[in-house]
Structure 1
Amino acid sequence: MEQKSPLQYTSASIAPSKRPGGLAAERPLRPLRPLTHLLAGASGGLATAVLTSPLDVLRTRLQSDLYRPPRLARITYSGPPSIFPRLFRVSLCHISETIHIFNSIHKTEGWRGFYRGLGPSLAGVVPATAIKFYVYGNCKRLGAHVLHYKEDAVIVHTQAAIAAGLATATATNPIWLIKTRLQLDDRGITTRRYKNSWDCARQVLGQEGIRGMFRGLSASYLGTVETALHLVLYEQLKVVYNRSLRRVNAPANSAWNEVATWISTSGAAGSAKLTAVLIAYPHEVVRTRLRQAPLENGTPRYTGLWQCFRSIGKHEGMAGLYGGLTPHVVRSVPSAIITLGVYEFVLRFMGS
């Protein structure tokens, strides 16, 4: 039997068939074209952006220091003697702030307020996920070939995830900056700083130059750690969950195989994303702060990555570094399930 080149198939390019006795075997599917990853990623991003937009607005405003309730904004970190009371207070603070911001948006802006920034979000999420999975899927193939490892090796997944994170952050940072500025601009209809996405881009370029469009990029690069953790854990957990489900005494047919695939994909995507978020979340807060509009005199609120980290840690403590965690988790875990579920489905559909 002819040996397949690692450049011909993706790790998803096998499908179950039946051996005598009803046992599942694996049969090769036709080769996947490199652009298939682009289409699969874009499909997942589109579904995710529309379904999770309200949670995205909540998360962005809670990460900023412009929308914190006055009582909570004045709280400074004093360092309690025990870690458990501190974690309990931080958790209550997150829930309280989330409810406050939710009620404020609904009361002052209506339901449309929960979809502010959806335009640039769609313009960002769709190409971002397309680029991310295009680079990730193809770097897995190329990495396996160059490094002489199998495609399911951890080192192959890691290098592909890092490359995908760096490429996505660089290509889409201007879009995310515009989306963040629009989501943080809640002034009245006649007094808003930015009329729309194009006006925001014009003002940023005119007042801050091209460098202004890439504010927060350093934090995005730091966030590549989260991307790598998420995708590497996902690939490993997906295999573990799938093998466990196939050991269950269930009928060996295509319907059960499809159910097992969806369960393993969803479980792995959600578990991996939750773990990655809890470890690497502070970079999200720092990135949002760096992307905030400058003060009225044109001076940036935060001048750099480490200055922003130090400032938040000094004045707000752990509560500040994990601001907006509640809606972020509620949004990002389902988002990961939707995105990777659609991505894997399109890969199987295009490769079958």
Structure 2
Amino acid sequence: MSTSRLVSDASSSLPSPTSSKPKFLPGKSWQHFIAGGIGGMCGAVVTSPFDVVKTRLQSSLFLEKPVAVRIVGNGSATVVRSTSGAGGLLWNFVETGYILRNIYREESARALFKGLGPTLVGTIPAKSINFFTYGNGKRVIANNFNDGQENTYVHLSAAALAGIVTGTITNPIWVLKTRLQLASTVQNTDVDSRRYRGAGLTMVRKILREEGIRGFYKGLTASYVGVSEGIIQWVLYEKLKKSTASTESQRQGGTQAWLGMLASAGTAKCVATILTYPHEVIRTRLRQPQVNGVMRYTGLMQTLRLILAEEGTRALYNGLSAHLMRVVPNAAVVFSIYEGILLWAA
């Protein structure tokens, strides 16, 4: 056999220069969609009670509601609420426990899952869209703008895109969820806090009647500001996951590998939440229902100035403890299921 024939055969068996470059595979893109949706559903159900508490603490409609217990001299319990924020973050965690107990006693156990229907209707597509857009977006961006290699800028761009797309599509659902969770704090509401069947449809009609279609997009600007939280979370998660995966114990796989991934997801969410939390309070205020026919919070900057003038800076962190108690384990559940499904489907 001639030398030229040998060279030709050898060269034909080698992969083309572009074959080593990771490609965007449309056939696998739906794995991100399904995995994200399942993870979001499980996380939402497990942490729903903390979501109810968080929403109420963020809202100005709940400021005068009794949420804590003070033991007086004769041993009797008096329900009170401190609006001064005394006690710091540690007391806020204790306060969250009192709120959960009071909701259970005064409104029933089902009230701890108030708004779960809209939450699931919102969370499942939101997580599906977010993970789908991010997981495939980073591939497309890397393949087209960074020679097929992932880096911080690729992760940042994909996270920003995922946040904007998700927020725009799902905002009406979050408005509905917020209104339902605040229903029992508003007098003369059309939604009886003890009647859950049909409450969502009643609230939809109420919003359309009083505010029109625009009412379903309250807080959208704050949601766009909140895209920064998703960016920080995804970029930090990717870095922490890569760091933990580089250790010897992670390379061995098994339980330690999953614990490292869970720690990465929880830590990334915790840091991102603390850094960007004020937008959550502003967004909740913007989504509040009208009181006596008046919409008190009308815009992003107007809401920020009003909160600072009337309640101070601490009000921008109302509900932070309940929020952390919800989102950190939620992130661990969501990401573990997401990564698990992707691994299983690989």
**TM-score normalised per structure 1:** 0.82
- 1:273 is aligned to 2:257: no
Q: Which residue of 2 aligns with 1:27?
A: none
1:1-352 counterparts in 2 under 5 A? Answer: 1-2=14-15, 3-8=19-24, 33-69=28-64, 75=84, 89-91=87-89, 94-95=92-93, 97-186=95-184, 192-194=189-191, 196-244=199-247, 247-248=248-249, 256-297=252-293, 299-351=294-346
Instruction: Give, in angstroms, the shift of residue 93 of structure 1.
Output: 5.7
Instruction: Give, in angstroms, the shift of residue 35 of structure 1.
Output: 1.1
Call closer, same or farther: CA 1:187–1:225 in 2, change over 3 Å: closer
Moved more, 130-139 or 103-112: 103-112
Instruction: Give, in angstroms, the shift of residue 317 of structure 1.
Output: 1.8
Give yes or no for contact 1:170–1:217 (8 Å, CA) kept in 2: yes
Moved more, 198-207 or 228-237: 198-207
Question: Structure 1 CA distance, aligned partners of 2:331 and 2:83?
Answer: 35
AA of the residue aligned to 1:142: V
Question: Structure 2 CA distance, aligned partners of 1:346 and 1:235?
Answer: 18
Q: Which runs of 5+ in 2 are unaligned?
A: 1-13, 66-79, 192-197
Question: Structure 2 CA distance, aligned partners of 1:174 and 1:108?
Answer: 29
How big is each residue's C-alpha offset from its partner over 1:207-226, in whole Å with a ceiling of 9 and x where there is no partner? 10111000000010000000
How big is each residue's C-alpha offset from its partner over 1:98-137, in whole Å with a ceiling of 9 and x where there is no partner? 2442233122101111010111111011010000001001
**TM-score normalised per structure 2:** 0.83
What's the secondary structure of 2:272's corresponding residue?
A: helix
AA of the residue aligned to 2:154: V
Q: Which residue of 1 aligns with 2:194?
A: none
CA RMSD, Structure 1 to Structure 2 (Å) = 2.3
Superposition misfits of 4+ residues, deviation over 6 angstroms: none
How big is each residue's C-alpha offset from its partner over 1:274-311, in whole Å with a ceiling of 9 and x where there is no partner? 110110000001101100001122x2110100111111
Give yes or no for contact 2:53–2:100 (8 Å, CA) kept in 1: yes
Instruction: Give, in angstroms, the shift of residue 328 of structure 1.
Output: 0.4
Question: Structure 1 CA distance, aligned partners of 2:185 and 2:271?
Answer: 36
Question: Structure 2 CA distance, aligned partners of 1:208 and 1:7?
Answer: 46
Instruction: Give, in angstroms, the shift of residue 145 of structure 1.
Output: 1.3
Give yes or no for contact 1:241–1:264 (8 Å, CA) kept in 2: yes
Call closer, same or farther: CA 1:267–1:99 in 2, change over 3 Å: closer
Question: Structure 1 CA distance, aligned partners of 2:28 and 2:315?
Answer: 45
Question: Structure 2 CA distance, aligned partners of 1:35 and 1:92?
Answer: 42
Q: Which residue of 1 aligns with 2:3?
A: none
What's the secondary structure of 2:254's corresponding residue?
A: helix
What's the secondary structure of 1:186's corresponding residue?
A: helix
Call closer, same or farther: CA 1:36–1:204 in 2, change over 3 Å: same
Larger Rg: 2
AA of the residue aligned to 2:204: A
Question: Structure 1 CA distance, aligned partners of 2:155 and 2:83?
Answer: 44
Give yes or no for contact 2:56–2:62 (8 Å, CA) kept in 1: yes
Call closer, same or farther: CA 1:93–1:307 in 2, change over 3 Å: farther
Question: Structure 2 CA distance, aligned partners of 1:96 and 1:33?
Answer: 45
Q: Which runs of 5+ in 1 are unaligned?
A: 10-30, 76-85
Instruction: Give, in angstroms, the shift of residue 202 of structure 1.
Output: 1.4
Instruction: Give, in angstroms, the shift of residue 260 of structure 1.
Output: 3.8
